[in-house]
C-alpha cells in the first residue's frame, strides 16, 4: 500500500501491482493525446471477455460477484487525465435520509466491477452526512472487489478524496473506508479513537457443528456492546434477563441473515458517540448517539417468502392478503407500493417466518420485531429533537421505523401495519413503507438511537 501525496492530506491511494514506467506528467500527456483510442481499445477487449454488455432500454440491472442483482442509476465519470473512474459520494450518504442516491452508489460500484474497471477514485469531499450502514456496505463491496483483484493478480488502483466536513472526516477515518482498507498514511489520533465506542466490523460465516461459531459469538458480543454503551452513556447496565433477551433476538436476526445469504456470510458493525447539551449537570446532559448496522447479500425477505419452502398456511395467508390489496388497487407503481413491499411488511409481524408451520406458531419471527421495539423504547430521548429511527432495506423495499407507528396487540399477535388503524389489509403509510428505484441484493438493518440518562431515569420509575 502506498500513501498518496503528503502535500495533499485530503487524498489517499492504494496501488496493487501497478508500476508506472513514465513520470506522472508524461503519462498524463500521453493519456490526453490518445484517450479516445485507448478507451475504444479497452472496451473492445472487455467486450471480448464478456465484461461489457448493452442492457435493454430503461434497464440497468447487472450481477455482482455473488450472482445477485443490483439495480439503480449509474453515477460515475471518467477522468481521462489519469485513466480513472470517479464515483462522487452524495452530500447526504444515508439509507435513512437519502436512500435513492445512496443505493445508486452501490449499483455503480457493482457496475464498474462488472465492466472490468480497476482504477477507481472515491470522492467524499462534498459529503456532509454519512450514515454508518451506507458507509459499511460501500466498504465491504470495495473490500470484496479488492480481494478478487488480488486473487486474480490484477493491477489495480483505489484512490479517494477525504470528506472536508470535520465530523464526517473523523467518522470516515475511525469507522470508514480508510480504516477498513487499512490505507497507510491516513492516521487517527488517540483522542479521535476514544471519541467512538466501537463495535468493529464483524464478518460472520456459517459454521456447522462448531462450538464458539460466529453465529454464537456475534450475538453475545453485540449484547455486551449494548451493555457497555448503557454504562458509558448513562451509568446503567442490562440485567441478566435483559442480556438473555437481546442475545436471543440478535441471534435470530443473524440466523435469518445467514440462511438468506447466498454466501452464508453477514456483517455487523456499530459505534456510539457522545453528544453534549448545553446547561445543567454535565453527566446528565450528555447523550450517547448510537449507530448500528446488520446486513447480508443474498435473497430479499420477499423472495424468501415466495419460495416453495414456505409452509402452506403461511403461503395461503400471504396470497389472501395480496389478492385483497389487488382488488383494492393498492399496488401502484406511481404510488411506490408493490407486492414485495407487502410481503416484507408481513414478515415483520410477530410469529411470521418461513420456518414456522403457521403464522404465530413456533419461536421464529420475533427477533427483528422485539429488538426494534426495545431500541424504540430504550433508545428514546427527552430531547424532542432526538428520536430513534430504524431502517430496513430488502430488495427494492424500504421500511422506516419511527415513534409515529409502534407495535401493538391485534387479536393474539403483535402487529405493526404503519397505518392509523394498524390493519394489514389497508395501505401502509407511504413515508414508512415504499418501493425504491434501486435494488439491494440482500437485507440491511440500520439502527440509530440514543442513550439518554434522563429518559432512562423516567423509564425506571414507571
Nearest to 139 by CA among 298, 269, 228, 288: 269
| Cα–Cα distance measured from residue 317 to residue 306, given in angstroms and rounded to the nearest whole number | 12
Tell me which DSSP letter residue 259 carries: H
Grid coordinates of 313 = 398456511
Q: What's the average model confidence in pLDDT over 47-55?
A: 44
| Cα–Cα distance measured from residue 176 to residue 37, given in angstroms and rounded to the nearest whole number | 37
Q: Specify the range with the lowest mean pLDDT, choosing from 132-136, 265-269, 365-369.
A: 365-369
Q: In the Cβ-directed half-sphere of 125, how many Cα atoms lie within 13 Å?
A: 12
Taking the mean position of all CA atoms in its chain, how far away is CA 113?
19
- Residue 23 has a pLDDT of 56
Tell me which DSSP letter residue 298 carries: B
Residue with cell string 447539551:
277
CB 106 within 8 A of CB 438: yes
- Residue 354 has a pLDDT of 55
- Residue 361 has a pLDDT of 54
pLDDT at 21 over 50: no
Nearest to 121 by CA among 73, 177, 176, 173: 177
Report helix, strand or coil for 428: coil
pTM of the predicted structure, to 2 decimals: 0.82
| Cα–Cα distance measured from residue 281 to residue 226, given in angstroms and rounded to the nearest whole number | 24
Sheet architecture: strand order including 156-161: 11-16, 156-161, 119-123, 84-88, 77-79
Q: What's the average model confidence in pLDDT over 243-271?
A: 81
**pLDDT grade, residue 359 (50/70/90)?**
low
Most confident of 48-52, 54-58, 294-298, 432-436: 432-436
Distance linking the first and last C-alpha atoms of the chain:
56
- Which residue(s) pair with 88 in the sheet? 123
* CA-to-CA separations, 308 to 124, 226, 311, 312, in angstroms, rounded: 44, 37, 8, 9
- What kind and span of H or E run contains 457? helix 453-461
Percentages helix, strand, coil for the chain (3-state, rounded to 5) are: 40, 25, 40
Pairing relation of β-strands 287-297 and 69-70? unpaired
Pairing relation of β-strands 69-70 and 389-401? unpaired
**Buried/exposed 16-49: b ≥16 CB within 10 Å, e otherwise:** beeeeeeeeeeeeeebeeeeeeeeeeeeeebeee
Pairing relation of β-strands 287-297 and 265-275? antiparallel
Residue with cell string 388497487:
329
CB 246 within 8 A of CB 371: yes
Report helix, strand or coil for 137: helix
Report helix, strand or coil for 420: coil
Total number of residues shown for the chain:
462
Grid coordinates of 421 = 388503524
Beta strands in 374-432 (DSSP E): 389-401, 408-410, 413-415
CB 174 within 8 A of CB 291: no
**pLDDT grade, residue 62 (50/70/90)?**
very low
Grid coordinates of 240 = 441478566
* CA-to-CA separations, 432 to 98, 341, 373, 398, in angstroms, rounded: 14, 11, 16, 8
Higher pLDDT, 209 or 248: 248
- Residue 51 has a pLDDT of 43
Residue with cell string 473512474:
85
Write out pLDDT tens, residues 156-196: 999 999 999 999 999 999 999 999 988 877 888 888 899 99
**pLDDT grade, residue 376 (50/70/90)?**
confident
* CA-to-CA separations, 294 to 44, 255, 328, 391, in angstroms, rounded: 40, 12, 35, 11
Report helix, strand or coil for 184: coil
Write out pLDDT tens, residues 87-122: 999 999 999 999 999 999 999 999 898 888 889 999
Output the DSSP codes for 336-372. TB-HHHHHHHHHTSTT--TTSSSTT-SS-S-HHHHHH
| Cα–Cα distance measured from residue 39 to residue 80, given in angstroms and rounded to the nearest whole number | 9
Most confident of 36-50, 151-165, 238-252: 151-165
Tell me which DSSP letter residue 411 carries: T
**Buried/exposed 243-255: b ≥16 CB within 10 Å, e otherwise:** bebbbbbbbbbbb
Amino acid at each position: 500500500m502506498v500513501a498518496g501525496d503528503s502535500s495533499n492530506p485530503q487524498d489517499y491511494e492504494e496501488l496493487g501491482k501497478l508500476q508506472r514506467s513514465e513520470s506522472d506528467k508524461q503519462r498524463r500527456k500521453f493519456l490526453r493525446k490518445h484517450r479516445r483510442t485507448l478507451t475504444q481499445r479497452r472496451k473492445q477487449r472487455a467486450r471480448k471477455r464478456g465484461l461489457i454488455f448493452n442492457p435493454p432500454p430503461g434497464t440497468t440491472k447487472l450481477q455482482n460477484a455473488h450472482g445477485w442483482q443490483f439495480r439503480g442509476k449509474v453515477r460515475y465519470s471518467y477522468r481521462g487525465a489519469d485513466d480513472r473512474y470517479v464515483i462522487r459520494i452524495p452530500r447526504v450518504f444515508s439509507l435513512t435520509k437519502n436512500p435513492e442516491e445512496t443505493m445508486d452508489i452501490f449499483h455503480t460500484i457493482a457496475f464498474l466491477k462488472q465492466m472490468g474497471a480497476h482504477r477507481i477514485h472515491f470522492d467524499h469531499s462534498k459529503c456532509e452526512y454519512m450514515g454508518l450502514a451506507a458507509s459499511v456496505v460501500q466498504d465491504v463491496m470495495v473490500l470484496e472487489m479488492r480481494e478478487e483483484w488480488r486473487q486474480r493478480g490484477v493491477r489495480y488502483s483505489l484512490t479517494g478524496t477525504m470528506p472536508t466536513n470535520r465530523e464526517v472526516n473523523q467518522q470516515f477515518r475511525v469507522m470508514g473506508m480508510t480504516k477498513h482498507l487499512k490505507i497507510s498514511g491516513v492516521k487517527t489520533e488517540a483522542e479521535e479513537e476514544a471519541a467512538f465506542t466501537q463495535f468493529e466490523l464483524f464478518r460472520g460465516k456459517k459454521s456447522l457443528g462448531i462450538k464458539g461459531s460466529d453465529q454464537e459469538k456475534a450475538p453475545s458480543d453485540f449484547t455486551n456492546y449494548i451493555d457497555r454503551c448503557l454504562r458509558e452513556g448513562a451509568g446503567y447496565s442490562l440485567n441478566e434477563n435483559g442480556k438473555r433477551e437481546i442475545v436471543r433476538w440478535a441471534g435470530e436476526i443473524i440466523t435469518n441473515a445467514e440462511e438468506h445469504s447466498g454466501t452464508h456470510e453477514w456483517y455487523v458493525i456499530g459505534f456510539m458517540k457522545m453528544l453534549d447539551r448545553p446547561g445543567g449537570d454535565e453527566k446528565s446532559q450528555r447523550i450517547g448517539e448510537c449507530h448500528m448496522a446488520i446486513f447480508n447479500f443474498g435473497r430479499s425477505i420477499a423472495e424468501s417468502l415466495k419460495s416453495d419452502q414456505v409452509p402452506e398456511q403461511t403461503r395461503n395467508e400471504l396470497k389472501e392478503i395480496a389478492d385483497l390489496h389487488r382488488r383494492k388497487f393498492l399496488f401502484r407503481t406511481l404510488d411506490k407500493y408493490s407486492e414485495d413491499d407487502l410481503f416484507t411488511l408481513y414478515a415483520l409481524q410477530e410469529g411470521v417466518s418461513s420456518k414456522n408451520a403457521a403464522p404465530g406458531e413456533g419461536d421464529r419471527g420475533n427477533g427483528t420485531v422485539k429488538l426494534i421495539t426495545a431500541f424504540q423504547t430504550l433508545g428514546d430521548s427527552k430531547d424532542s429533537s432526538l428520536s430513534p429511527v430504524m431502517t430496513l432495506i430488502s430488495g427494492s423495499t424500504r421500511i422506516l421505523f419511527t415513534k409515529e407507528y409502534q407495535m401493538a396487540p391485534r387479536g393474539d399477535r403483535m402487529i405493526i401495519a404503519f397505518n392509523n388503524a394498524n390493519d394489514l389489509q389497508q395501505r401502509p403509510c407511504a413515508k414508512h413503507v415504499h418501493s425504491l428505484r434501486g435494488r439491494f441484493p440482500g437485507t440491511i438493518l440500520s439502527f440509530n438511537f440514543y442513550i439518554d440518562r434522563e429518559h432512562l431515569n423516567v423509564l425506571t420509575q414507571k
